Amino acid sequence: AQSVTQLDSQVPVFEEAPVELRCNYSSSVSVYLFWYVQYPNQGLQLLLKYLSGSTLVKGINGFEAEFNKSQTSFHLRKPSVHISDTAEYFCAVSLGGQGGKLIFGQGTELSVKP
């Protein structure tokens, strides 16, 4: 069965520091990959997605992610975080079809401190 693992449940970081949120998935077939952000008491908002082509994907709010097929990873990065980036981040995988279902990781809580 396919699964998604977010390797860190919490990531504390100081403002203006770089950050990487790690995501690994298990699948033997081609996948589509997503990162979503959730601010407190809100729904999920798409940050970026990898569908095909260039393995480096740029998203909103200065985030980017790199798809690594050999390591089955899709880590999210930002070179300099702001207080406003404090939120929960979810990695998700789609196999396409399958009823349109996404498989979500457990989430990583990013806490940016001044």
Partner 1 sequence: DGGITQSPKYLFRKEGQNVTLSCEQNLNHDAMYWYRQDPGQGLRLIYYSQIVNDFQKGDIAEGYSVSREKKESFPLTVTSAQKNPTAFYLCASCSSGTAYNEQFFGPGTRLTVL
Q: Which residues of the chain form contacts with partner 1 (CB under 8 A)?
A: 9, 32, 34, 36, 41-46, 49, 51, 90, 94, 96-102, 104-107
Nearest distance from C-beta of residue 15 to partner 1, angstroms: 25
Q: How far apart are CA 106 and CA 109, in angstroms?
A: 10
Nearest distance from C-beta of residue 80 to partner 1, angstroms: 27
Indicate the residue among 9 and 68 with the shorter CB distance to partner 1: 9
Nearest distance from C-beta of residue 32 to partner 1, angstroms: 4
Indicate the residue among 34 and 81 with the shorter CB distance to partner 1: 34
Structure-token pair, residue 91: 């990695």
Nearest distance from C-beta of residue 9 to partner 1, angstroms: 7
Indicate the residue among 45 and 68 with the shorter CB distance to partner 1: 45
Amino acid at 89: Y
Place of tokens 């407190």: 40
Indicate the residue among 99 and 114 with the shorter CB distance to partner 1: 99
Kindly provide the b/e burial profile for residues 14-50, where b requires at least 16 CB atoms within 10 angstroms of the residue's own CB: eeeeebebbbbbebeeebebbbbbeeeeeebeebbbb
Widest CA span of the chain, in angstroms?
A: 43
